[in-house]
C-alpha cells in the first residue's frame, strides 16, 4: 500500500492511494471544498476510469463507513465521550442561523466546541455564532448525544 500527496496549485490537493493488489484511486480536495473520488486503470496510472463528485456530507458519510469508530474517543470515569465532526450541509435548517437556535446542549447534552470553516477555525463558539453552509461542527458528548445532535443539524 502506498499513499502520495500532490499539491495542485490553484486547485487543491490530490491524494493517491495504491492498494497491495494494485488498484489505484485518488481523492482530490479542491480549495473551494469540492471533493472527487477517482478510480484509475491498473496498467495506466494516468487513465482515470471514473471520477465521482462528493458533497461534503457524502464525503463525511463515506469516511464514517470506512472507519466507523468515532474520530477521537475519550474515556473518563467510566463514561464514554466521543468527539465527532458534523457537516452542516445546504439542506440543514441551521445554515445561516445562530448556534443558540439549535438548543444543542439542552436538547442532546452534546456541546459544539469548535466550528471549522474554509477561512479558519472558531474554537468555543458562543450562542451568537452564525453557521454557514459547509461548516464542520466539532461536537463532544456521549455517543447518543452526538448522534442526536447530528440528526438535529441534518434537519431530522
Give the model confidence (pLDDT) of 24-72 as tens digits: 899 888 877 788 999 988 777 778 899 999 877 777 777 777 766 554 4
Residue 21, pLDDT score: 81
User: How far, in whole angstroms, is CA 8 from its chain's centroid?
Assistant: 21
Tell me which H or E stretch contains 84: strand 79-87
- CATH number for the domain spanning 118: value is 3.30.70.1450
- Between these two residues, 12 and 74, which has the higher pLDDT value? 12
Domains held by the chain: number:
2
**Domain match, 137 and 71 both:** yes
Question: How far is the C-alpha of 130 from the C-alpha of 88, rounded, in Å?
Answer: 12
Residue 67, pLDDT score: 67
**Domain match, 41 and 72 both:** no
Amino acid at each position: 500500500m502506498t499513499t502520495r500527496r500532490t499539491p495542485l496549485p490553484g486547485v487543491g490537493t490530490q491524494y493517491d492511494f495504491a492498494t497491495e493488489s494494485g488498484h489505484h484511486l485518488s481523492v482530490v480536495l479542491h480549495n473551494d471544498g469540492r471533493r472527487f473520488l477517482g478510480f484509475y486503470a491498473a496498467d495506466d496510472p494516468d487513465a482515470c476510469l471514473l471520477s465521482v463528485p462528493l458533497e461534503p456530507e457524502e464525503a463525511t458519510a463515506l469516511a464514517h463507513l470506512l472507519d466507523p469508530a468515532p474520530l477521537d474517543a475519550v474515556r473518563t470515569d467510566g463514561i464514554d465521550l466521543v468527539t465527532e465532526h458534523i457537516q452542516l450541509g445546504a439542506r440543514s435548517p441551521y445554515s445561516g442561523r445562530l448556534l443558540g437556535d439549535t438548543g444543542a446542549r439542552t436538547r442532546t447534552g452534546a456541546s459544539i466546541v469548535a466550528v471549522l470553516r474554509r477561512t479558519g477555525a472558531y474554537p468555543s463558539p458562543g450562542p451568537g455564532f452564525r453557521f454557514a453552509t459547509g461548516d464542520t461542527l466539532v461536537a463532544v458528548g456521549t455517543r447518543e448525544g452526538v448522534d442526536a445532535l447530528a440528526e438535529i443539524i441534518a434537519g431530522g
